[in-house]
Amino acid sequence: MCGIIGIASRKEFESNDVIKMLKRLEYRGYDSFGIATDTGLFEKEVGEVRHVSDNRCTQAIAHTRWATTGKVTKENAHPHSSCDGNITIVHNGIIDNYLELKEWLAAKGHQFKSETDSEVIAHFFEEELKTCDMRHAVEKFFALVKGEFAVLLIMKGDDMIYTFKRGSPLVLGIADGMNILASDIYAFSNRTNKAVFFSEDEFAEVSAGGYKFYKYDSQLVPLTKEIQVFEWESKESGKMQYEHYMLKEIHEEPEAAARLIDSMKYEQKEKMNELKKMIEDSKRVVFVAAGTSYHASLLGVYFLNKAGIESHAIIASEFRNFTLLDDRTLVIAVTQSGETMDVIQALHGIKGEGVKIASFVNVPYSTVQRMSNVSVNICAGQEVCVAATKTFVNQVVALSYLASLFGYENGIEKIPDKINSLLRQEEKIKGMAETLKNVRDIYIIGRGFSYPVAREIALKLKEIAYIHAEGMMGGELKHGTLALIENGTPVISLMPEGDNHIISNTKEVEARGARVIVVSNSSFDYESIKIPSEDEASFSILATVVGQLLTYHVAKEKRLPVDKPRNLAKSCTVV
């Protein structure tokens, strides 16, 4: 989930120009960072990406880390170098067999300075280049190394950046007099709109003057790659008047939802009709997703099943364990980044079984989008905060709209206005947050379409407010969880008008002394937030927005790092 940058330029540039690009990738990890240049700068530090020593150079690589193998220390930060210091690398991914490789290299006299799996890459090439050239060394690396990787490698006295990938994302940006390698296009979208996207098991030699691509299949074979012109946000708008990106992005939800609705009616109408036809030609639909996107997928299953379409949702990391696929199955991937490794691995090879792939993504030209037969862009725009807010809303809007093509009735067109109306209750939600900041546990209960919302609200409370929260089916309370309800335990009940079962479940926790908070589109004699919903889809979205605002204000009250919660990153590119 780390972010990597490499630049080869005809003209000199400043080291902190690289750092500015790296900062745009910080959502991928912010435990530590580092940079190495061809003019001798080698710096790495623990913490968020920040300015480094001034240094003019024509070649540089840099890295922002989300720790996997090895603790968050300066020694474990990237870049990593060989024993002689001639080879320097940055790496995104996980080398599964690094201990075996490390033992082999140590036996040959290599000394390691870090606990990471990544450092073995620098020593591996130092060892192999004693007896062969770079291309043959890369062939051996592809053959021997297990795991996922996107690697940038530079050598003293060499103007080339050597780069290769398997699993982890990598893209080459073509700018004026400069070639830029990065984990995704956002790193350089303010400099160029031309890119070459790496596919699996590809190797490239990149200099200021050009590049050569190769495909690995037991050996490297020259490959011609197409330059693609892309459209994506060229610059980050900043937090504007908001203290945190999370709050800014919640307030952007009405605009983002309206943009998506218009897009599905016009620019993406053909894609939506193509997806509808794919569903009609399939026996069943299986969603694959992780985290917040999985909760959106559960709502998609509910909406489609109500429209008479057999649908299921499987967590991406367990996809192959809990589903059967055949040529009558349509798999729909839902992923904000389009680079979630668990999702990508679930999709690998299934086209060969006759399975069609569709997707809902937010980042164009991502791996999942390129793997799909048809892909719908959810048009949420750049999301900086780790917590998914407007992307979740737009995923649900898109899935509800899809179900409407099969007759599922909803008022999705009114969603932007309804979110705006709900946002006017923010002060009331903020007051509620002040009373919840010190609680240890929160339970959120729902039934039917509100159950996925309960899980999503719980996820937000865990990842941003650091509160143990459990989102669950109201009917499951009596099968264990009631034993945990004590006097004053907060229970948030998602209570759509007319749902008598969830009212009964709420009474059950009230009888055990729970502090009941109701989110409903009707009036009840409880501490409550009333939402302006008239249908299932709008209730799902608006109740979630209540949870987002509540989480934000609890975290702010606790003085937590709202946009960059501990131990997490935005894009999950490791398994």
Are β-strands 178-182 and 220-223 bridged in parallel, bridged antiparallel, or unpaired?
A: unpaired
For range 311-335, the mean pLDDT: 94
At 235 the pLDDT is: 55
Q: Work out whether the CA dihedral 318, 321, 325, 329 comes out positive or negative.
A: negative
Strand order in the sheet with 311-315: 311-315, 284-289, 329-335, 356-361, 374-377
**Residue 186's pLDDT band (cuts 50, 70, 90):** confident
CA dist., res. 297 & res. 415, Å (int): 19
Each domain of the chain, given as residue ranges in start order, spans 3-229, 245-557
570 has catalytic annotation: yes
3-state secondary structure of 284: strand
At 348 the pLDDT is: 87
Q: Catalytic one among 2, 379, 385, 572?
A: 2
Q: Which helix (H) or strand (E) holds 256?
A: helix 253-265
Closest CA to 90 of 27, 25, 144: 25
Q: Catalytic one among 44, 390, 570, 572?
A: 570
- CATH architecture of the domain with residue range 245-557: 3-Layer(aba) Sandwich (3.40)
Closest CA to 43 of 22, 67, 12: 22
Residue 403 and residue 307 in contact, taking contact as beta carbons nearer than 8 Å: yes
Is residue 245 left, alpha or beta, with left meaning phi > 0 and alpha meaning psi from -120 to 50? alpha
Q: What is the pTM of this model?
A: 0.86
**Residue 364's pLDDT band (cuts 50, 70, 90):** confident
For range 481-489, the mean pLDDT: 93
**Neighbour count for residue 567 (Cβ, 10 Å):** 9
At 236 the pLDDT is: 60
Q: Is the confidence at residue 423, as pLDDT, over 90?
A: yes
277 has catalytic annotation: no
Residue 494 and residue 444 in contact, taking contact as beta carbons nearer than 8 Å: yes
Mention the CATH class of domain 3-229. Answer: alpha beta
Please give the angle made by the CA atoms of 4, 8 and 11, to the nearest 5 degrees. 135
Q: Is the confidence at residue 187, as pLDDT, over 80?
A: yes
Q: Where are the beta strands (DSSP E) in 161-209?
A: 161-166, 171-175, 178-182, 194-197, 202-207
